[in-house]
């Protein structure tokens, strides 16, 4: 029996995929906690940018990739490395500056790469991974292989000139690159659409983005992911959570929207409250959408 579609129209992940994502989330959290402990003991030198609170972003993105696909990371990239299949011992050795690390101890926390799993590396320069990913996408296009590249970045990186240049190049040549950003980029959505970006992930509610208003403004010219304010989940107020979730689920009418939190789920979101959100969307996020008092007719 086929897996029923989720609100975004895609099949729901199978149990093995979900378990793999959970293991990556858990491994990343425990790895980062140990890194923080070692850093405070003076055993890790230089900069350390933990990925705590963002584990699910990397786990979800990498779960959608094949082994042959590429990722390009950021200065806060431990979670990306782990979810793409990195060896934790080699990672820790590198972070601690040991010769047995991925880069023989020369790179440290911000420059871990692993060609074995097509992780093209983290980068200490904001936005510098974007042109690297674009170049990798060009390589895929030239070779004619069935691969994609995911590059992670934040809204701060969109101020870097290579961001627009890379989008233009990717749009002109149809490069198989997924630009995985976050923050308030409302001013440049039209630019995204013009160069052929298919979807934006994740929509950060705390940055002032509202998927309902964006759907009204841009229709289905671009897809959206996220926008559920994780801080609302932390209130534990199920009525408030339901109101926000089902109202924003209107953006899934006609497809083109994937439900998820707007950013990292904080540690003050309890297990029962998180489970409530999951069960809420499993119940209501099935096509045809019937949102009852939360229905917005103008988005029909």
> 94-126 pLDDT, tens per residue?
999 999 999 999 999 999 999 999 999 998 888
What's the Rg (C-alpha) of the chain?
20
Over residues 63-70, the mean pLDDT reads 95
The 3-state DSSP class for residue 51 equals: coil
Stated as kind and residue range, the H or E segment containing 151 is: strand 149-152
CA distance 249 to 256: 11
Q: What's the token pair of residue 252?
A: 């899934």
The 3-state DSSP class for residue 238 equals: helix
182: Cβ contacts below 8 Å, ≥ 6 apart: 154, 155, 201, 202, 204, 207, 263
DSSP letter, residue 226: E
Report whether pLDDT(12) > 80: no
Report whether pLDDT(7) > 50: no
- Write b or e for each residue in 260-297: b if 16 or more Cβ atoms lie within 10 A of its Cβ, otherwise e: bbbbbbeeebeeebeebbeebbeebbeeebebeebebe
Residues above pLDDT 90, as percent of the chain: 66
Over residues 52-78, the mean pLDDT reads 92
Q: What is the pLDDT of residue 9?
A: 44
Separation in Å, CA 272 to CA 22, 236, 237, 260: 16, 9, 12, 17
Q: What's the token pair of residue 140?
A: 């895929």
Q: What is the pLDDT of residue 136?
A: 97
User: Domains along the chain?
Assistant: 15-285 (3.40.50.970)
In degrees and rounded to multiples of 5, residue 19 shows phi and psi of: -65, -40
CA distance 186 to 192: 10
CA distance 39 to 45: 7
Report whether pLDDT(182) > 70: no
The pTM of this model reads 0.68
Report whether pLDDT(73) > 80: yes
Instruction: Check: CB of residue 58 under 8 Å from CB of residue 24.
Output: yes
Q: What is the pLDDT of residue 287?
A: 92
| Strand bridging mode 223-226 / 199-203 | parallel
Dmax (CA) of the chain: 62
CA distance 57 to 168: 26
């Amino acid at each position: 029996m086929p897996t029923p579609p989720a609100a975004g129209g895609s099949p729901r992940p199978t149990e093995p995929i979900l378990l793999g994502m959970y293991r990556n989330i858990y491994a990343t959290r425990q790895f980062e906690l140990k890194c923080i402990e070692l850093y405070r003991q003076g055993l890790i030198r230089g900069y350390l940018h933990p990925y705590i609170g963002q584990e699910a972003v990397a786990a979800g993105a990498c779960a959608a990739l094949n082994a042959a696909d590429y990722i390009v990371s950021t200065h806060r990239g431990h979670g990306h490395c782990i979810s793409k299949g990195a060896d934790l011992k080699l990672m820790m050795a590198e972070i601690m500056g040991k010769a047995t690390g991925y880069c023989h101890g020369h790179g440290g926390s911000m420059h871990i790469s692993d060609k074995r799993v097509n992780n093209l590396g983290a980068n200490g320069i904001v936005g510098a991974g974007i042109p690297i990913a674009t170049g990798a996408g060009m390589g895929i296009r030239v070779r004619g292989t069935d691969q994609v590249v995911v590059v992670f970045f934040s809204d701060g990186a969109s101020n870097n000139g290579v961001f627009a240049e890379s989008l233009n190049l990717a749009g002109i040549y149809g490069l198989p690159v997924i630009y995985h950003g976050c923050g308030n980029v409302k001013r440049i959505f039209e630019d995204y659409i013009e160069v052929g970006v298919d979807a934006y992930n994740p929509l950060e509610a705390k940055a002032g983005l509202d998927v309902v208003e964006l759907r009204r403004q841009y229709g289905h010219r671009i897809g959206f992911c996220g926008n559920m304010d994780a801080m609302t989940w932390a209130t534990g107020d199920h009525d408030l959570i339901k109101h926000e979730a089902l109202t924003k689920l209107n953006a899934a009418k006609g497809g083109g929207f994937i439900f998820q939190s707007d950013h990292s789920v904080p540690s003050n979101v309890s297990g029962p409250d998180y489970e409530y959100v999951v069960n809420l969307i499993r119940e209501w996020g099935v096509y045809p959408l019937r949102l009852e008092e939360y229905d917005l007719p103008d988005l029909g």
